[in-house]
């Protein structure tokens, strides 16, 4: 199943009571890009608000695994329709008894808020489910894509695959929310770092030390081949780079 990728990036707004609050959070390939996230009154964005940005899906509490497998692909921008299709597709696969799930990632990033919502969905799946994240040889998993990658029970990547982390970029549409920008940015960076720490404490320490996810921090980019010195848990299986066939003899 292929998750739709390069669609136009919609602005998302959340109606809370009688107030329409909008805040933009950038987590795409460039830190200058920004997207919209809901606010919670005058508090930083919380987990409840983030998880509500994707449609609720029903997952069997005790799936009966048939040994069947299911594959999905997230290519291009990460956005609400794509993440909704991913979570719905995985729930459907589990309902049919497919508990071995593979998600191929090849993305420059996108909407951080929807990547977080999908990642928490994956982390909450019943223990019978096993999700394998794969970044193919020559592929890339940048920005918000790394959140999905961290949510996998198993993680594989091509030897030449690239990963990029950069500071969360927050921009509010409502001038009245401007004072909340630093707090929102720190909260979202914390969620991101927590997911990384669950699978690779060494990489998380490096991100925290240089504040790579916080405003003003440096971007961290690396290839799978760099991981022995950055962290050992981020990629558990290194996939070989295909060798091109020799040119035909003249």
Q: What is the pLDDT along the chain (250 residues), one digit of tens a residue?
A: 444 433 322 222 222 221 222 333 444 333 333 444 443 344 457 888 889 889 999 999 999 999 899 999 999 999 999 999 999 999 999 999 999 999 999 999 998 999 999 999 999 999 999 999 999 999 999 999 999 999 999 999 999 999 999 999 877 788 888 888 888 889 999 999 999 999 999 999 999 999 999 989 999 999 998 887 777 799 999 999 888 888 887 6
Contact predicate 23/37, CB 8 Å: yes
Q: pLDDT at position 130, please? A: 97
Q: Output the CATH code of domain 2-239.
A: 3.90.226.10
Residue-range domain boundaries for the chain:
2-239
Give 118's contacts (C-beta < 8 A, 6+ positions apart). Answer: 54, 83, 86, 87, 148, 151
Specify the pLDDT at position 44: 57
Between CA 82 and CA 67 the distance in angstroms is 26
What's the CA gap between 230 and 223, in Å, rounded? 10
Task: Let me know: does 118 contact 54? Beta carbons within 8 Å.
Answer: yes
- Cα distances (Å, whole numbers) of residue 232 to 105, 142, 154, 204, 235: 20, 19, 13, 11, 7
Under 8 Å between Cβ of 55 and 83: no
| CA–CA gap between residue 217 and residue 208 (Å, rounded) | 10
The alpha-carbon radius of gyration of the chain (Å, integer) is 18
For the record, the structure tokens of 235 come out as: 């990629």
Map residue 36 onto helix, strand or coil: strand
């Amino acid at each position: 199943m292929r998750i739709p990728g390069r669609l136009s990036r919609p602005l998302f707004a959340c109606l809370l009571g009688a107030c329409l609050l909008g805040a933009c959070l950038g987590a795409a390939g460039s830190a200058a890009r920004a997207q919209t996230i809901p606010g919670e009154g005058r508090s930083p964005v919380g987990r409840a608000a983030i998880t509500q940005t994707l449609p609720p899906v029903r997952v069997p509490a005790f799936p009966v695994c048939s040994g069947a497998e299911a594959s999905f692909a997230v290519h291009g921008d990460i956005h609400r329709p794509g993440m909704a299709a991913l979570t719905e597709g995985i729930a459907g696969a589990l309902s049919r008894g497919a508990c071995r799930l593979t998600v191929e990632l090849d993305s420059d990033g996108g909407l951080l808020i929807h990547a977080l919502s999908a990642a928490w969905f994956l982390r909450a799946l019943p223990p019978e489910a096993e999700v394998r994240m794969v970044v193919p040889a020559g592929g890339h998993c940048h920005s918000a894509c790394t959140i999905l990658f961290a949510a996998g029970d198993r993680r594989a990547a091509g030897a030449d695959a690239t990963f990029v982390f950069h500071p969360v970029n927050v921009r509010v549409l409502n001038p009245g929310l401007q004072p909340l920008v630093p707090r929102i940015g720190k909260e979202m960076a914390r969620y991101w770092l927590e997911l990384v720490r669950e699978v690779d404490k060494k990489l998380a320490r490096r991100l925290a030390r240089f504040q790579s996810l916080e405003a003003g921090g440096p971007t961290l980019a690396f290839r799978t081949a760099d991981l022995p010195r950055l962290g050992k848990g981020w990629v558990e299986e290194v996939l070989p780079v295909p060798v091109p066939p020799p040119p035909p003899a003249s």
